[in-house]
Structure 1
Amino acid sequence: MATPTEHLVSVDGSGVRFPCAEGDTLLRAALRGGVGLGYECNSGSCGSCRYELLEGEVYDRRPDAPGLSARDRRKGRRLACQSEPLTDCRVKVGPTTEVATHRPIRQAAELRSVTPLTHDMSEFVFAADTHAGFRPGQYAMIMLPDGQVERAYSMSNIGNCYGEWKFVIKRTPDGQATSILFDKLEVGATVVLDGPYGHAFLRDRENQNIACVGGGSGLGAMVSIVLGAAALPDAGAWTVHLFCGGRTERDIHVPEPVAIAGRRLGALHVHTAVSDAGPDTVAGPHFAGFLHDAVLDRLAGSLTDFTYYAAGPPAMTDALARALVLDAGLEADRLHFDRFC
């Protein structure tokens, strides 16, 4: 039986049950309990975690979430990532799996340092009391000190026993979260980290030829993938292409750990692209154009030889998916990214 501070969630027709603590979401509680539900963004935007509530009562954190269509709402569908059970519940969901990665946990973490990388992008380093358990390429939810603002950010390091979580974060104009992170959060401040989450993590047995495509602050997740490949016992057999993109040259940054990782990898090729390089602009060493076009140009003739990891604005990941899967014929399960909107 669930404790008085928990509600029991039963998955209809499966015999699967898991407890959900007060204030937790149905999705996160399931993952903490080892029950794998379908999801991507964890913020109500993608719609991957739709379900039906058959019995019980839930609080909807985001009633206007774009992840539900008008048809979904007419059919009574809800989003597991935005539903907080208020009673014991019975739900109808898609197929469940066993969580094959680290189960997410909530913990306090202290801001240890902030290092500027570009004019609007910095690396934030947090330290928690327990080890940092996650797969390269995953993300965590950061609840800021006001207790009202929570955002998803990908880790830019790899799992470690020091409890260190690093994030490459790009300032968003008028962004509620980044205005706190960049302007108000001081070293020594405490946040709540909830993670890891995400499916776009390094598959170390899938293919040793990989391409990592990071637009904007999506660079952080791709650096994590590169570092993860370099940490493998067979790193010398891996060929890695890292693509970094920005609007202009001042948006481009290749972190120093990437060069260090290159010493262990069989081959590491770094490509940069600037999208605002018009006919009168000199792109210099960078590819002039969109990041997905840089991938098509640099890997021409061998596009389907690679497994791809991507992180960045939805427009970038969507364009990459169309170019690789629809146009080039890449198998869909060879492109990994988490959809953030």
Structure 2
Amino acid sequence: MSTPAEHHVLVDGTGVRFSCTEGDTLLRAALRAGVGLSYECNSGACGSCRYELVDGEVRDRRPDAPGLSPRDRRRGRRLACQSEPLSDCVVRAGSLGEVTAYRPVTQTARLRAVRPLTHDMSEFVFTADEHAAFAPGQYAMLYFPDGRVERAYSMSNLGNRDREWKFVVKRTPDGQATSILFDKLEVGSEVVLDGPYGHAYLRPERNRDIVCVAGGSGLGAMISVVLGAAALPDAVDRTAHLFIGGRREEDVHIPEAVLVARRRLRALHVHTAVSEADGCDAQPPCGIPPFRGFVHEAVVRTLGESITGFTYYAAGPPAMTDALARALVVERGLPADHLYFDRFC
């Protein structure tokens, strides 16, 4: 078998260079090399990784990706997360940011267990070939056996030496990836795991109390952040709030791991919010009736005047994270660098 070709990429005006193996994307190759290109979803939907190709040739994995507007296309912009270099390239990108201590690695992982959480959400446990090195709150890309479907899912555990990666996944109607996970993948099946990625990871150096806001499958990332905070040496001096949003009460789940974290932190307050009232007879989580409304509204109502005194982490659908950012940063004056989130589209 021939060795895949490597192409060299120069970031125009910076002197920064990195190599990209044939078949890898420009974004992921940069992150593997420690070059912090801007990104969020890693799947072509958000547009955060827009760049201009100055010289060279690339292949677009997803030419119709929604992350590019008609204006972007007219200006020749592309998405680094969907671009596979076919030659040496020169690119013009925005400012280069930070890269976590964990650079993404591609490896094989095997499904070890599936644990149902709600009527349409389960935790999938994989054991990887090499390691499970990631920061609390990050996500990984999973490639499924047919080789054509990949999706981003947040880890719901902490980095560990047992090579264990856990993912909370919500079934999506007619979703290709979730239909494979819930209906076709059997224990022992292999997937390709590429990670870690993501910006909504715990910053332990910030000596502030934290608020975690989760919507849908974003629950996994926020559980990881809470567990990470509870594992810090000064956990007994930290307070955390965890807000979990869903459409109905039956959509909301509070994992047992949260109760473990509560014993190590000074305080952990769990709040739930449901946006639809459907007369469901499901028992409220922890026996406490949920807030009726959207989860960002629950954050504002609950924290009140103290709202700017926290560092925030959030994961969930774009509508949720955008509404939260408006409520906190635009309307309440929270400094933008006190809010970290990953949007899953």
TM-score by length of 2: 0.95
Identify the residue that residue 322 of structure 1 maps to in structure 2: 326
Percentage of identical aligned residues: 72
- 1:154·1:221 contact (CA, 8 Å) conserved in 2? yes
Structural mapping, 1:100-111, within 5 Å: 100-111=100-111
Q: Which moved more, 1:316-325 or 1:258-267?
A: 316-325
For residues 171 and 75 of structure 2, what CA distance do their matches in structure 1 show? 38
Mapped partners of 2:100, 2:170: distance in 1? 30
Contact kept, 8 Å, 1:57 with 1:89, in 2: the verdict is: yes
What is the alpha-carbon distance in structure 1 between the residues aligned to residue 101 and residue 324 of structure 2?
A: 26
Distance 1:100 1:133 in 2: 11
Hey, what's the Cα distance between the residues in 1 that align with 2:110 and 2:338? Answer: 36
CA distance in 2, matches of 1:4, 1:242: 45
Task: For 2:218, give the aligned amino acid.
Answer: G
List 4+ stretches of structure 1 deviating above 3 A. Answer: 280-284
- Closer, same or farther in 2 for the Cα pair 1:301/1:102, shift >3 Å? same
Partner of 1:263: 263
The aligned residue for residue 311 of structure 1 is 315
Counterparts of 1:201-240 in structure 2, within 5 Å, are: 201-240=201-240
Q: Take 1:36 and 1:155, find their aligned partners in 2: how far apart are those partners?
A: 21
Check whether the contact 2:246–2:252 (CA below 8 A) recurs between aligned residues: yes
Q: CA offset at residue 293 of structure 1?
A: 1.2
> 1:23 is matched with which residue?
23
Gaps of 5+ in 1: none
Equivalent position amino acid for 1:106 in 2: T
**What secondary structure is seen at the aligned counterpart in 2 of 1:44?**
coil
1:288 alignment partner, one of 285, 289, 292: 292
Any conservation in 2 of the 1:277–1:289 contact (CA below 8 Å)?
no
Residues 84-233 of structure 1 aligned to structure 2 (within 5 Å): 84-97=84-97, 99-233=99-233
- Secondary structure of the 1:35 match is coil
- Quote how far apart the aligned CAs of 1:74 are: 1.2
Q: For the residues of structure 2 that align with 1:160 and 1:4, how far apart are their CA atoms?
A: 31
Structure 2: which amino acid aligns with 1:86? L
CA gap of 1:184–1:332, structure 2 versus 1, over 3 A, is same
Alignment of 1:326-341 (within 5 A): 326-341=330-345
| CA distance in 2: counterparts of 1:271 and 1:112, whole angstroms | 31
Q: 1:320 to 1:4 in 2, by over 3 A?
A: closer
Q: Is the 8 A contact 2:316 2:342 kept in 1?
A: no
The superposition leaves residues 183-214 of structure 1 with CA deviations (integer Å, 9 ceiling, x where unpaired) of 00000000000000011111111243111011
Distance 1:215 1:75 in 2: 34
Unaligned stretches of 5+ in structure 2? none
Distance 1:126 1:87 in 2: 35
Q: Give the deviation of 1:99 after TM superposition.
A: 2.2
- C-alpha distance in structure 2 between counterparts of 1:249 and 1:92, whole Å: 47
Q: Check conservation: 1:51, 1:94, Cα contact below 8 A.
A: yes
Distance 2:16 2:111 in 1: 38
The amino acid that maps onto 1:263 is R
| 2:44 equivalent in structure 1 | 44
Match of 2:82 in 1: 82
Residues of 2 paired with 1:73 and 1:226: CA distance?
40
300, 306, 312: which one pairs with 2:304? 300
Shift in Å at residue 16 of structure 1? 1.3
Shift of 1:300: 1.3
- Asked if the contact 1:213/1:310 (under 8 Å) is kept, the reply is yes
Tell me the residue number matched to 1:62.
Answer: 62
C-alpha displacement of 1:147: 0.3
CA deviation after TM superposition for structure 1 residue 223, in Å: 0.2
SS class of match (2:343): coil
- Match for 2:226: what amino acid? V
How far the C-alpha of 1:336 sits from its partner, in A, is 0.9
Displacement of 1:4: 6.3
**2:35 counterpart letter in structure 1:** V
Larger mean CA deviation between 142-151 and 285-294 belongs to: 285-294
**8 Å contact kept, 2:248–2:280:** no
SS of residue in 2 equivalent to 1:301: helix
